[in-house]
Structure 1
Amino acid sequence: MCDNPSMVNAIPNTRLGRYVETAVGGEIVRAFVPPALPPSPPINVLPLLTKLSAAERALGRLDGITMLLPRHDLFLYMYVRKEAVLSSQIEGTQSTLTDLLRFEAAAEAGQPFDDVREVSNYVDAMMYGLGRLDELPLSLRLIREMHARLMDGNRGGDKNPGEFRRSQNWIGGTRPGNAMFVPAPPNEIDPCLSDLEAFIHEETSGLPPLIKAGLLHVQFETIHPFLDGNGRIGRLLITLYLCTKGSLQAPLLYLSLFLKSHRSVYYALLQSVRETGGWEGWLAFFLEGVAETANQAFDAATQIVELFKADRDRITADSDRAGSSLRVHDWLQSNPFVTSNVLVEQIGLSAPTVNAALADLERLGIVTEITGKRRNRVFSYKSYLDILSEGTAPL
């Protein structure tokens, strides 16, 4: 950060990027090529310090409680699925968290298969990327590998999964000529992506990791290097980067609920960066989102811990078959939709014992049978789902 205004004025303004004309579908359009990061003149961090501090405190608090959770892997398992639903909803799918969990549990069908498959692929891409960070740096190669898994077998499967585009795309509108935004043409993508990868690993700018994460997200969205799936990969890039920098110990920061709730402001700020170089306005919004999202995840973790303890205490005190009921309750914590057949197979209890335990949990108000059938019944852990599902109604 430069504190001398005269020095700032002496630095050439290269924040605005450049437009190049390109022919698409018989018309000439202006495509935007962003400048390399970091921005010049440099980001004025001083007005952002209050929001930056609040965001860092919220991340630290979230890390603290997740490390204290009896089963923080379980919270991660569920929260990743919530993020997958929200991120996919921004792209137009109508699946809910309930649909995804029922799909994974092979219970009753929810939304159309294609929608649920897209969300399931997002979970797979996310967990793959997080796992690969142990052996591969955050890089263009990893981004391509994640994209291949994201697009595998779904409605974007014909749009070059795992490959950067070699044709022009656009955002908004019915064709490039009336689009809201036209990203860089194919021949400009490789240099832009090389600059992006270099910025991921540079150490000379001195920018805090949260600021860099905000810059990386917008740059990736502006380059828009894939034919489909850019938004989902670009949002995941935030969390992956913060994990590599140690700003997050567990990958639990996902901004999709915040961006879904403020999507008109989000899109306007992305355009402002492209049109005016207004990075500081975007970063203020981004840091607010980090703090709000981390605090929401902290609250959800706290509620879940309290719910599990209260229900276990109730089972212990009021159940006639506490041992088997507690084993079923333990399974429900990672599988909030369940059938008796699955329980017999997975936890090693007999069918009569499982059915008696489910009846006991239903009597205590802990599970609810959701099919109304006498056979092939499905039970849900509704109170748990209510906490997890907050904010996940389709757009």
Structure 2
Amino acid sequence: MEAQASSEIENVVTTTDELFRHMDNDEGASPDVKEALRYRQGLFAGLDMARERGTLTRVTVETICTQLAGRSMTLRRGRGTIIANPRTRQAVYTPPEGYDILDQKMSAWENYVNAPGAHDPLIRMALSHYQFEAIHPFDDGNGRTGRIINILQLINDGLLTSPALYLSRYLISTKTDYYRLLREVTSEANFTDWIVYMLEGVRATAESTLRLIDRLQQLQAEVRTAMDSALPGGGPVALTEVLMSQPYTRIRHVAQGCGVTRQTASRWLSALADAGLLERAEAGREVLFLNQAYMRTLAEA
């Protein structure tokens, strides 16, 4: 869901259904879907590195951006990118130019983002996000890379244990304010309004995420009840976990997750489809089983 929202800010538009349908296999997916799914790869690549090293480094950032772009990404060496108004094409910000300058500024960013005593972690996240976007170190992917870093920074500072707080939906719903306040930090040194904006984003996103978790827990109980009626003995607990891992379930997911044969997995899923809990959906030569209630819950969120 974060991949969808963050990509949409960059005008890469997909649907929830498309993303989950192609999450494990992007064969036949549109270019926009493939690009949005690379965001998820970048997020988890960065998460693995942050957990392993305990810090956020330039190597982490380059790894994330490389995953997003699908090609090797390092600091800009040519002319800087001019950030323009999408309608008028007039320049609104010119990032710093020159490899040596970018190298110095990224070193300063790296020092600040890993300085636990500098400011409250949420304020430091807001300031380091501005700092990163102002440096604009890559030819492409700076916005999405910066939004991934936000979450990794909160994990690195111990405020989160997993990347479950996704700010991009808030940012896209307030996109005009997001870009306006970023510019005002540069043009007017208006740090206060920028920080307050980001703190409000954390508050609103945390509340909506908790509501989503509550609804998913309720839905999991409903799935368990439906399984008790549709399957002999109700089926294993592991089957419930597989069905709640994502809206689309494949036969191999159940076989691997429950340690059963494909025949048993297929029989279970067919019984749940016959009972109305799941819907069959074809994807090429493969049959998928869709939990519509799960998909609706995510789409509404």
TM tier, shorter chain?
0.7 to 0.9
- Which of 136, 143, 152 is the equivalent residue of 1:231? 143
Q: How does 1:125-140 map to 2 (within 5 A)?
A: 125-136=42-53, 137-140=55-58
Letter in 1 for 2:44: M
Q: Deviations over 1:58-97 (max 9, x none)?
A: xxxxxxxxxxxxxxxxxxxxxxxx1112111111212223
Alpha carbons 2:239, 2:254 under 8 Å: kept: yes
Task: Provide the residue aligned with 1:145 in structure 2.
Answer: 63
SS of the equivalent of 1:180 reads: strand
For residues 287-298 of structure 1, the aligned pairs below 5 Å read 287-298=199-210
**Change beyond 3 A, Cα 1:372–1:247:** closer
1:117 aligns with 2:21: no
Gaps of 5+ in 1: 1-81
- Tell me what 1:48 maps to: none
Task: Give the distance between the partners of 1:107 and 1:115, measured in 2 at CA.
Answer: 11
Q: Aligned pair 1:106/2:18, yes or no? A: no
Equivalence map 1:245-256=2 (5 Å)? 245-256=157-168
Which position in structure 2 is the counterpart of 1:78? none
CA–CA distance in structure 1, aligned partners of residues 159 and 188 of structure 2: 30
> How many angstroms does 1:293 deviate by?
0.6
Aligned amino acid, residue 67 of structure 2: R
Q: Which residue, 223, 227, 247 being the options, matches 1:336?
A: 247
User: Is 1:190 equivalent to 2:108 in the alignment?
Assistant: no
Tell me the equivalent position of 1:270. Answer: 182
- Counterparts of 1:343-382 in structure 2, within 5 Å, are 343=254, 347=258, 348-351=260-263, 353-371=264-282, 376-382=286-292
Normalising by structure 2, report the TM-score. Answer: 0.87
Q: Percent identity?
A: 28
1:386 to 273, 296, 300: 296
Name the CA distance, whole Å, in 2 between partners of 1:203 and 1:360.
Answer: 53
Is the 2:155–2:162 Cα contact (8 Å) retained in structure 1? yes
Counterpart residue identity of residue 390, structure 1: E
Letter matched to residue 120 of structure 1: L
1:309 maps to amino acid: A
Larger displacement relative to structure 2 (185-194 or 356-365): 356-365
Q: CA RMSD in A?
A: 2.7
User: Does the 8 Å contact 1:147/1:233 carry over to 2?
Assistant: yes
> For the structure 1 residues 107 and 266, does the alpha-carbon distance in structure 2 shift closer, same or farther, using more than 3 Å as the test?
closer
Provide the rounded CA distance (Å) in 2 between the counterparts of 1:250 and 1:354.
Answer: 30
Is residue 2:10 matched to residue 1:88? no
Aligned residues of 2:227 and 2:235 also touching (Cα < 8 A): no
Residues 9 and 172 in structure 2, CA contact (< 8 A), matched pair in contact too: yes
- CA shift digits 1:279-328 (9 cap, x unpaired): 10111111110011111111111111111112202321x22534448665
Task: For residue 204 of structure 1, report the CA deviation from its aligned partner.
Answer: 5.4
| Distance in 2, Cα, partners of 1:383 & 1:97 | 13
Asked if 1:312 corresponds to 2:224, the answer is yes
Larger radius of gyration: 1
Deviation, structure 1 residue 381: 0.9
User: How far apart, CA to CA, are the structure 1 residues paired with 2:230 and 2:131?
Assistant: 56
Instruction: Measure the CA separation in 1 of the matches of 2:176 and 2:254.
Output: 45
Task: Report the Cα offset of residue 371 of structure 1.
Answer: 4.5
The alpha carbon displacement at 1:340 in A equals 4.2
Q: Distance in 2 between matches of 1:143 and 1:183?
A: 18
Cα displacement string for residues 208-260 of structure 1 (whole angstroms, at most 9, x for unaligned residues) = 11001000001111111100000011111111111111122222122100001
Q: For 1:135 and 1:350, locate their aligned partners in 2 and report how far apart those are by CA, in whole Å.
A: 36
Q: Which residue of 2 aligns with 1:213?
A: 125
Distance 1:223 1:350, change over 3 A: closer
Distance 1:336 1:86 in 2: 18
C-alpha distance in 2, partners of 1:107/1:365? Answer: 27
- Give the alignment's TM-score, normalised by structure 1: 0.68
Contact 2:26 2:34 in 1 (8 A): no
Contiguous gaps of at least 5 residues in structure 2: none
Structure number with the higher helix fraction is 2
Give the 3 Å change call, closer, same or farther, for CA 256–107 of structure 1 in structure 2.
Answer: closer
CA contact (8 A) 2:251 2:262 kept: no
